[in-house]
Amino acid sequence: MQQRIIVGMIDGFGWDYWELSEMPNLRRMVKENGHVTRGSAVFPTLTNVNNISIACGTWPENHGVAANSYYDAASNSSQYIEDSSFLTCKPLSG
């Protein structure tokens, strides 16, 4: 039987929050069914870059996303990266 794993990431959650805050519900979930570990952010420390690095299990140089947005010449504006068309590798899957 294949085991499922859920990886959660809380954006902007410094390790000092975990160490200094009670958070009874989060601590109960970890104690009953989970595991918590301190991770290191990739550079640049942007939400999309880090989340995609987790989802793909690789660095920005391999998955192709190094920013939260891109310049769209057609609209002459910055556009938020919201789909997988920018990836140069496949995400991990179960």
Q: Which residues are catalytic?
A: 47
Contacts of 77 (CB under 8 A, 6+ apart): 71
25: tokens are 């519900």
Helix, strand, coil percent values for the chain (each to nearest 5)? 35, 10, 55
Tokens representing residue 11 in the block = 């954006």
